[in-house]
Structure 1
Amino acid sequence: MPVIVLEARDFTSPFFLVRTWVIVFTCATFSLVASLDLVDLNKDQSHLQTLKTFCMFIWCFFFSLTVFIYILTTIQFHSLLPISWKNFTVTVAVLGALMSLSAAVIFPWFIMDNQTPTPRAIATAITSWLTFLGYTFESWMLQCQTHEQRGYMGSKPGLLKTLQVWGGCQMIPLIVEAIHVMPSEIHGWQLWVSVASYTACLAMSLITLVVILGDFAARCCLPFDRFLAGFSLMGVFLYMVAAVICFTKILQLKDPRHNLTQRVVELFIIETVVASITLLAYTVDLAFSIKLLCDRGH
C-alpha cells in the first residue's frame, strides 16, 4: 500500500497547527523540568519526588501519544490500526487537557512552593499552562465536529468516562502522598478502603476505554449498554464510600490531637474535591445509561 502524505494546505489546517503547538510546548515543559535543580528539598519534603515523577509522566506520556497521532495523520496510516481512530483522538485530546491541567497546578503549587523562583521555573509554569491550552483547543475543535466524526468518546457519556479515568489517575499520587505525610492513626482501614475503591473504579474505567477504542463492544458476552450501566452503578457505590471517608477525614481536621500540617490539610481537601467530582461523573453517567436502557426497552 503506498504511503499517502498530506497535501500542502493540510499543513496549515487548525488541527495540524494545534497539535504542533502541543508537541512543542509539552517537549519544552518536560525538558525544563528535567533541567530544574530540585535537590535542595529537605528530608521532610523528599516525598515530593512522587509528584514530580507524576507530572513528568503526564507530559512525556501525552507527548508520545500526540507525536504518534501527528505522524500517523500526516502519512495517513491510521486506517490500518485495529482501533477506533476517531474515538482515540478525542480521548487523547480530552484526557490530555485534564491531565495537563492537573500537572500545571500540581507542579507550581507543590513542587516549586518552597523553591526560590527562577526564570527557568517560571518558564516551566508558563509552558505547562500553554500545553493545557493546546489540548483544550484541540478538544474544542473535535467537539465542533459532527457526531459521526467525533465518535462515542466525543459524546456526553464518553466525556464522562474520560473524566472518570482522570479522577482515578489523580488518586494515585494523592494516596502515595497520604502514606508519606498523614499521621499513622489516620491510615488504618480508611486508607485501604479508599485505595480499594479507587483501584477498582480505575480498572473498570480502563476496561471500558479499551473496549470502546478497540471496537470490542460487539464481542462482549453481555449487551454493551448493560455492561456500562453495571460499571457506572458500581462506580457510584464505590466513590460514595470513598467520598464519605473523605468527609470523615475533613471532620478529623478539627481534632487538635492530630496536629496536622498544612500539607496534610491540602491533601485531604484535594482528595475530597476530586472524589466528589468523580462521583458526580459516575452519577450522571449512570443516569445516561439508565435512560439508554429505558429507551431501548420501549
Structure 2
Amino acid sequence: MPVTVTRTTITTTSSSSGLGFPTTVGSPRALTQPLGLLRLLQLISTCVAFSLVASVGAWTGAMGNWSMFTWCFCFAVTLIILIVELGGLQARFPLSWRNFPITYACYAALFCLSASIIYPTTYVQFLSHGRSRDHAIAATTFSCIACVAYATEVAWTRARPGEITGYMATVPGLLKVLETFVACVIFAFISNPYLYQHQPALEWCVAVYSICFILAAVAILLNLGDCTNMLPVPFPSFLSGLALLSVLFYATALVIWPLYQFDEKYHGQPRRSMDASCSSSHAYYVCSWDRRLAVAILTAINLLAYVADLVYSARLVFVRV
C-alpha cells in the first residue's frame, strides 16, 4: 500500500476565543466573558496564595522557594495576559498570540499542580500548629484552585476536531508542554551529580533527558515565534522525527535507569532501607533513593507522552491511500 506525505498547516483566527464565545478585544467587557472571568480567578487565587505565605514567611528551602516562585510567576504572567487583552495589544505582543495563552495556561496548570503537591508534603506537614501553618494550608487550597482554573482554560481553549487553531492548542502541542515540564522535574531530582556520575550508562540517561528536552523546547519556541517555516524540512515531518527519536531514547533510559539504580548486580539499591539518607524524615529534603524512584516513574510518564505524541504527529504527515 503506497504512502503519500502531506503537509498540514495549522492556523488560527483572532475573532474567536476558542470557547465558542465571541471575545471583545480591547474592552473592559472582555473581563465579563467566561475566559476573562476564569483568568481573574487565576489572578486572584495565585495572588492570595503567595500573599498568605509571604505574610508569615512560611517558605524555606528549595521546595518552598519553588512554590513561592510558581505562585508569583503565574500571577505576573496572568496579569500581563489580561493587560494585553484589555488593551487590544495582541498584534504588538512579541510572541504568537495564537499559541502563547494556551501554552502558558498548560504550564501554569502543571506548575500549580506541582506546588500544590510539593508544598504541603515537604513543608506544611513539618510546621507546628499555629498561624503559619494555617496560612500555609490556606495557600495550598488557593494553589489547588489556581491549578483547576488553569486546567479549565486549557480544556476550553484546546483544539476541537475540524477547528482551525494554533499548533500549541492541539494534542501534540499540549504534549510538548507536558514533556518539557516532566523533564524539568527530572532535572530537579537529579541535581545532585552523585546520582549518576558513577556509571556511564546513567550519564547516558541524563543525556537523553537533556537532548529530548532541548528538541521539544525548540519545537515550542518555533511555534511561539511563528518561525516554523524557517526549518529546512516541513514542520510536521520535523515533529514526527523528533517524537520518534525521543521515543527510542526514552525507551533506553526506561531500561537503563532502574537497572543501574535498583539492581545489586550493578551496584544499585533495591530497597529504600539500604539508603542511609532515607533513615529519618527531614523537612525540605528528599533522600537519594526517593529521587531515583521518582526519576524512574517520571521517565515512564514521559515515554508514554512521547509515544502519544508520535501517534498524533504521524497523523499530520502520513496519509494511507
TM-score normalised by structure 2 residue count = 0.77
Matched positions, count: 281
Deviations 1:156-184 (A, max 9, x none): 111111111111121232122x45xxxx5
Change (3 A) 1:147 1:103: farther
Shift of 1:191: 4.9
Residue 116 in 1 paired to residue 116 in 2?
Answer: no
Out of 227, 245, 248, the residue aligned to residue 256 of structure 2 is 245
Q: In the alignment, which residue of structure 2 is the partner of 1:64?
A: 76
Identity %: 30
Equivalent pair of 2:116/2:143 in contact (CA under 8 Å)? yes
Shift of 1:64: 2.1
Residue 84 in 1 paired to residue 100 in 2?
Answer: no
Q: In the alignment, which residue of structure 2 is the partner of 1:254?
A: 270
Distance 2:96 2:103 in 1: 11
Equivalent pair of 1:87/1:151 in contact (CA under 8 Å)? yes
Q: 1:132-281, aligned counterparts within 5 Å?
A: 132-143=147-158, 148=163, 150-176=165-191, 178-179=192-193, 184=194, 187-189=197-199, 191-248=202-259, 249-251=261-263, 252-254=268-270, 258-259=275-276, 261=278, 263-281=287-305
Q: In the alignment, which residue of structure 2 is the partner of 1:96?
A: 108
Distance 1:288 1:121 in 2: 41
Q: Aligned partner of 1:268: which letter?
A: R
Gaps of 5+ in 2: 1-23, 280-286
Deviations 1:125-178 (A, max 9, x none): 1111111111112112213778656421111111111111111121232122x4
Distance 2:101 2:290 in 1: 34
Deviations 1:25-81 (A, max 9, x none): 112222333344468xxxxxxxx7222232233222222221111100111111223
TM-score normalised by structure 1 residue count = 0.83
Q: Aligned partner of 2:112: which letter?
A: S
Q: In the alignment, which residue of structure 2 is the partner of 1:14?
A: 34
Q: In the alignment, which residue of structure 1 is the partner of 2:14?
A: none
Q: Aligned partner of 2:227: which letter?
A: F
Q: In the alignment, which residue of structure 1 is the partner of 2:17?
A: none
Distance 2:247 2:175 in 1: 13
> Helix, strand or coil: the match of 2:226?
coil
> Helix, strand or coil: the match of 1:102?
helix
Equivalent pair of 2:27/2:86 in contact (CA under 8 Å)? no
Gaps of 5+ in 1: 40-47
Out of 143, 148, 156, the residue aligned to residue 128 of structure 1 is 143
Residue 53 in 1 paired to residue 65 in 2?
Answer: yes
Distance 1:188 1:225 in 2: 39
Q: Aligned partner of 2:278: which letter?
A: T
Deviations 1:228-273 (A, max 9, x none): 1222122223322332233222444435654451633432332222
Q: Aligned partner of 2:244: which letter?
A: L
Equivalent pair of 1:95/1:166 in contact (CA under 8 Å)? yes
Bigger CA drift: 124-133 or 241-250? 241-250
Equivalent pair of 1:147/1:154 in contact (CA under 8 Å)? no
Distance 2:64 2:121 in 1: 11
Q: In the alignment, which residue of structure 1 is the partner of 2:8?
A: none
Distance 2:161 2:91 in 1: 19
Pairwise CA RMSD: 2.7
Equivalent pair of 2:243/2:309 in contact (CA under 8 Å)? yes
